Structure 1
Amino acid sequence: MPPRVRTHNPDRIRNALVAQAWSLRGAVGSLDPADLARPTRLDGWTVGDLVVHLALQLEALPRVLAEPAPEGAAAELTLSRWAVSTASVAERLDADTRAAVAGCPDPVVRLDSAVNALQDAVSAPLPDRAVRIRLGTMTALDFAVTRLVEMVVHADDLAAATGADVPLDRHALATVVRLLADALAAEAPGGSVELRVPPFAVVQCVAGPRHTRGTPPNVVETDPLTWIRLAAGRLTWADAVADAALTASGERSDLSGLLPVLG
């Protein structure tokens, strides 16, 4: 049985976008020039580079909403497919970021402008139509959800690099946890393993015997941030197990071969 497709409340997504964008802006605004020069866990990127990348990701939503709807195009790109396809554009995104950095004298100002543009773009309801992005066409609402993924994942990158407090909007965090869990379940459909990320997500995945009642024989459980780090490739399965950041019981419970979910 394929995993169910979740629905998203457009107003809650809009509110989460604005809240998380301003949380990032506040954290970045507290950094000094020495902080911007710090390395990050993203290969070859400084904090300043990461801030510019974040600005690019936020600017993408106002840009695609301002473009005409793709003529006759259906929204064939699901959120799960988007998540597992990001690896295919990783090199292009890296190149785009480096080019933007070269032309950006002040990353903080660039992010500030991007946050304001995003807020303006979602001040009205999101249009009920498809938008075209590099990976294909998806609904405007789903593309807005992908911006939450970018902000939550990179908020954690920013905190790891600088020690800054970057609060995560609860709805943004819940949405990203569920999206990444659903994407894993879509890539490895089945019912032999139950992935639990309390309090936000429970999915079944991996082909094999399906349990029908009681405690399933194969269970993986972890917290939201550990799951996001695993799914985004910021943390290895072995390190998470060694640090007791997750529990995995049952002979089929090793999900390391399915990670990361994002590129």
Structure 2
Amino acid sequence: MNDKKSYFMVADSAVELLADPAVAAAWHEPSALEGFTVGGLAEHLASQIFNVRRVLDAPLPPEPPIGLLDHYERVAWTTSGLDHEANVIIRKTGEDAAAEGPAAMVNRARAALGDLRETMPEDRPVFLPWVRWSLSLNDLLITRLMELAVHSDDLAVSVGLPTPVLPDEATDVVAVLLTRLAVRKHGLTPVLRALSRAERAPETIAAF
């Protein structure tokens, strides 16, 4: 499975969604996510491209990378409420960036994605300044791929567009990650029942 290829396919799809006139038309309206305008959510979606460029431009980290699931164990937003500092910062960052407007955001996203396609290195450790630890580049791309998929759905719902269909390769990456996180949060039995036994399915197996 080529995580780099999958990342670019889904990032291309996200940029197409960001460029849809429906997004610009609803830029200042509330989104489907509480606390986000459509513009703020769109910027958060685009940041899954911008932040890859950001970490690749930073020096190589001195410490070894942690594992993918360990990353999700550490980040505060996976288990905290909307008013937790981590989630407030995420929303504020998106809303502040939205001041540039939809056209500027789309132009930046297209330029950043084109640059990444030309300069993406082979797998190596990368430092994530927003959490202060390192991942492998491949694992970073998996985290961004999942974010692109989830927030593309959020944005599409917010502006009344169909949710972009992921390529099979990308679907596998996202489904495997979310399933592993759901099992880690709820245990195997609830996830097993939700996927195979409707009569015994729990109320939720949400990964976050």
Q: TM-score, normalised by structure 2?
A: 0.80
Shift of 1:141: 0.8
Tell me if the contact between 2:182 and 2:191 (Cα under 8 Å) persists in the aligned partners.
no
Q: Distance in 2 between matches of 1:83 and 1:111?
A: 29
Q: RMSD of the TM alignment (CA)?
A: 2.5
1:111 maps to what in 2?
A: 106
Letter in 2 for 1:150: E
Deviation string, structure 1 residues 124-163 (Cα, Å, up to 9, x no partner): 5543322121232111111111111111011111121112
Shift of 1:164: 1.8
Determine which of 180, 202, 205 is the counterpart of 1:254.
Answer: 202
Tell me if the contact between 1:79 and 1:142 (Cα under 8 Å) persists in the aligned partners.
yes
Letter in 2 for 1:220: A
Tell me if the contact between 1:21 and 1:115 (Cα under 8 Å) persists in the aligned partners.
no
1:193-212 correspondence to structure 2 within 5 Å: 193-195=190-192
1:187 maps to what in 2?
A: 185
Shift of 1:99: 2.3
Tell me if the contact between 2:15 and 2:46 (Cα under 8 Å) persists in the aligned partners.
no
Q: TM-score, normalised by structure 1?
A: 0.65
Deviation string, structure 1 residues 179-217 (Cα, Å, up to 9, x no partner): 011112233455x4553xxxxxxxxxxxxxxxxxxxxxx
Q: Number of residues paired by the alignment? A: 196
1:139-178 correspondence to structure 2 within 5 Å: 139-170=136-167, 171-178=169-176
1:121 maps to what in 2?
A: 116
Task: Considering fraction of residues, name the structure with more strand.
Answer: 1
Q: Distance in 2 between matches of 1:147 and 1:162?
A: 22
User: After alignment, is 83-92 or 44-53 more displaced?
Assistant: 83-92
**Gap runs ≥5 in structure 2:** 81-85
Determine which of 85, 91, 111 is the counterpart of 1:94.
Answer: 91
Determine which of 15, 19, 22 is the counterpart of 1:29.
Answer: 19
Q: Distance in 2 between matches of 1:118 and 1:182?
A: 28
1:205-220 correspondence to structure 2 within 5 Å: 219-220=193-194
Tell me if the contact between 1:14 and 1:122 (Cα under 8 Å) persists in the aligned partners.
no
**Secondary structure of 2:26 counterpart:** helix
Q: Distance in 1 between matches of 2:70 and 2:88?
A: 18
Tell me if the contact between 2:15 and 2:109 (Cα under 8 Å) persists in the aligned partners.
no
- Closer, same or farther in 2 for the Cα pair 1:55/1:86, shift >3 Å? farther
2:42 maps to what in 1?
A: 51
Work out the percentage of aligned pairs sharing the same amino acid: 26
Q: Distance in 2 between matches of 1:68 and 1:261?
A: 32
1:4-15 correspondence to structure 2 within 5 Å: 9=1, 12-15=2-5
- Closer, same or farther in 2 for the Cα pair 1:249/1:97, shift >3 Å? same
Tell me if the contact between 2:19 and 2:106 (Cα under 8 Å) persists in the aligned partners.
no
- Closer, same or farther in 2 for the Cα pair 1:70/1:36, shift >3 Å? same
Tell me if the contact between 1:64 and 1:131 (Cα under 8 Å) persists in the aligned partners.
yes
**Gap runs ≥5 in structure 1:** 1-8, 196-218, 223-246
Task: Considering fraction of residues, name the structure with more helix.
Answer: 2
